[in-house]
Amino acid sequence: MRRGSVEIKISTLVKKMDSWLKNRKIPELKDKEFWNTIKISVDIFLTENGYPFYACINDMNRILAIKMDIEATVFEIRIRYDISKKRPISERTFSFKSLVKTGPCFNMTVSEAIGRRLYGISYELEELSYDAESLGYFSVDEMIAAYESAKKIVDKLQDKKLSYVFIPDNERKKLKQLQQTKKTDTWLVFIKSTYVRDAQAFIGNAQADIHPYSKDLDDDNAWLDVHGATLVAIYKDITKDEVVDRINHTYPEAADGVFQILTPEDFKSNTSIVL
């Protein structure tokens, strides 16, 4: 048996695994038989390619976990499949479509992922960090702090939420409409620092006479790297919903978590804002 390359990227390994599974032409199978066949097939692929891992299917969420001998999860893979829904539940069959490369670790090499597990960083922690970044948080700590803050608010409102149920629907609708149409003097739209890179500013030549056509702007030594959140838009006298609409129109491909929308008042009332 040849030894698999530990310097290969996990995304490349999964791509090869995906092709290998498709070439096996796994037939339509019933529930337990299907998942067991996927597990056995992946184990065969890993063994034939010399990787010291084994496959495990999570019965709750049907995620394929690739584990080490010490039972630490190296990475997880979601499986795309079809179900024959027109049949009775007991007769339904599953057919394999593909492996989905989403989540943490796919840009790591196999050796890097193994090293992190041996060092004591669990896959669960990797996944939590990935989810925090996907939701637009600067760190896991920031996400947990937001959760704790929200939980306190919910706990505080427990006694009041029952009375909210008895507020007439038309009154609640009026309040919602009022909130949606509420305008503020100024909205500041930032791209969070996590999503900014390779930014420079002309701040290295204090003697320069700066104007749009100044030759001093050609001085590369005066352009210095800058870091942090970037203010990309200032809007006035519109609602927050209108701000979101304008962002979506200007940056149609961007995820919502890339941006943070604030008002000048936010900075006055909260001196610990993280952008």
The pLDDT tens digits for 97-135 are: 999 877 888 888 999 999 988 888 888 888 888 888 888
Task: Determine the average pLDDT of the residues in 216-245.
Answer: 83
pLDDT band, residue 15 (cuts 50/70/90): very high
Task: Determine the average pLDDT of the residues in 233-255.
Answer: 87
Q: What are phi and psi of 187, to 5 degrees?
A: -115, 135
Q: Rounded CA gap, 128 and 147, in Å?
A: 13
Q: Comparing C-alpha atoms, which of 101, 102, 96, 100 is closest to residue 22?
A: 96
For residue 52, is pLDDT > 80?
yes
Task: Determine the average pLDDT of the residues in 221-246.
Answer: 85
For residue 214, is pLDDT > 70?
no
For residue 216, is pLDDT > 80?
no
CA 61, 62, 68, 70 dihedral sign is positive
Q: Comparing C-alpha atoms, which of 136, 105, 144 is closest to residue 122?
A: 105
Q: Rounded CA gap, 90 and 175, in Å?
A: 49
pLDDT band, residue 1 (cuts 50/70/90): very low
**What pLDDT was estimated at residue 186?**
85
The pLDDT tens digits for 160-169 are: 666 666 777 8
**What pLDDT was estimated at residue 161?**
61
CA angle, 203 then 206 then 209, to 5°: 100
Rg for the chain, CA atoms, rounded = 26
**What pLDDT was estimated at residue 47?**
92
Q: Rounded CA gap, 10 and 6, in Å?
A: 9
**What pLDDT was estimated at residue 120?**
87
Q: Comparing C-alpha atoms, which of 45, 41, 34, 44 is closest to residue 95?
A: 34
For residue 207, is pLDDT > 80?
no
pLDDT band, residue 39 (cuts 50/70/90): very high
The pLDDT mean for the chain works out to: 83
**What pLDDT was estimated at residue 167?**
74
